[in-house]
Amino acid sequence: MALLLFDRLFRVLIKSGPLTVIDAAGRARLYGTASADVTPVTIRFTDSSTPRRIARNPAKGAGEAYMDGRLLVETGDIRDLVDLIGYNTRWNASNPTRIKLWRPQRIAATLDTWNWQRRSKRNVAHHYDLSGALYDLFLDSDRQYSCAYFDSPAETLDQAQDDKKAHIAAKLMLKPGQRILDIGCGWGGMALYLNRVADVDVLGITLSEEQLKIARERAVSTGVADRVKFELIDYRNLTGTFDRIVSVGMFEHVGPPHYRTFFEKCRSLLTPEGVMLLHTIGRADGPGATDPWLAKYIFPGGYVPALSQMMPAIEKSYLWLTDLEALRLHYAYTLEHWYERVAAARQQIVELYDERFFRMWQFYLAGAISAFRHDGHLVFQLQLTRQRDAVPIVRDYIAIDEQRLRDAVSSKNSRPISL
């Protein structure tokens, strides 16, 4: 019965393959026909209960089975397996096999996005307070843990992350002496960059004690601790005003019930002439739900928003959307760099944690790549202001300032620039 449920599901799901599944008794089943769009994969189950668990909850069941060693990938690797399944369930009007059964239950997911202040800090600690040595193994030299900006897929990760910072800085229209707020500042890379290239003062806020410690150390070591400060504080408790607000990769942790609170707070923190740049993962396919495996093991309380969920809160907060950019494949390229680096650092990661943790991290990155390759995931950059004339009426200034920033950073003499 267990294998029967699995077999019925996968005969509906998998049209392009082939995917060969070997059960615990050694019997092989073939799903899908050969396709140039995916790599053939062979997997083996080590027990009879795993197929039933996957049939009942595909993402959670498969993720836990791979972590525990109950699902073994014998031909290809876990990225190939997730890619094959992602391609077959891709978001495309012409795809007849995309079915609701593959998507998680929305009721439980909705409850998980109520991120009150105490819960928000606990959720952040779950992921971002992991060993800094782990992140050093797969991130770029500046520890940018968000989507990079690629001129082409061949660009290096470090270059693409530098270009991302320049792209964002150009949209902020920075001037020397301005006061900048960085909501969800990570390990301080963006804040330190803005200070260095534009001669501005920055306050970075985070809920991660590990990130706070490292960000402060970096500010001290570069001699700018008097101008680039970092605090452990929830955005809801912040007071004061800022000329610019930047937030990169933090909004995914806010949760739909708190969107209006977030944008109203940002408006109150902006000066009347202020500019905000929000960089967040988004959904092209409308409101959805967080993968139950991802919510349990990687990002508790996390949720990727659709633009249709963000805009009502922005509108009610009396903010102008002055620029909107959709970055589509950039995060897939970023994640592929991370996946390759994690695979190369397997021994170090196992020594830091264990084999199960390594498999968990692999599955997380493989799933994320598939989401940006085949599902409706992308990255939005929203420029927001309080006044309709706070930025130029045409966006040419972005490319001009961005190139100036790139040239300055790549030059040997990278003194602060007056924009």
pLDDT interval class at 123 (50, 70, 90): low
Above 50 in pLDDT, residue 170? yes
Identify the top-confidence range among 63-72, 102-111, 406-415: 63-72
Tell me: do 246 and 148 sit in the same domain.
yes
- Which residue range is the domain that position 48 belongs to? 2-102
Tell me: do 137 and 165 sit in the same domain.
yes
pTM: 0.93
How far apart (Å, rounded) are the C-alpha atoms in residues 119 and 128?
A: 14
- Determine the average pLDDT of the residues in 257-268: 97
Write out the two tokens for 146. 């968000």
Q: In this structure, what CATH number is given to the domain that contains residue 169? A: 3.40.50.150
Tell me: do 259 and 129 sit in the same domain.
yes
Above 60 in pLDDT, residue 413? no
Above 60 in pLDDT, residue 148? yes
Tell me: do 366 and 274 sit in the same domain.
yes
In sequence order, which residues have a C-beta less than 8 Å from that of residue 136 and are 6 or more positions away? 143
The amino acid that residue 141 corresponds to is S
Above 90 in pLDDT, residue 190? yes
Above 60 in pLDDT, residue 86? yes
The residue from 75, 102, 129 where one domain ends is 102
Write out the two tokens for 103. 């998507």
Tell me: do 33 and 125 sit in the same domain.
no
Q: Coil, strand or helix: which one is 241?
A: coil
- Determine the average pLDDT of the residues in 345-364: 97
Q: Coil, strand or helix: which one is 127?
A: helix
pLDDT of residue 99: 52
Predicted confidence (pLDDT) per residue in 296-328, tens digit = 999 998 999 999 999 999 999 999 999 999 999
Share of the chain above pLDDT 70, in %: 90
Tell me: do 138 and 11 sit in the same domain.
no
Above 80 in pLDDT, residue 273? yes
User: Does residue 279 sit within a domain?
Assistant: yes
- Determine the average pLDDT of the residues in 79-106: 77
User: Does residue 98 sit within a domain?
Assistant: yes
- Domain count along the chain: 2
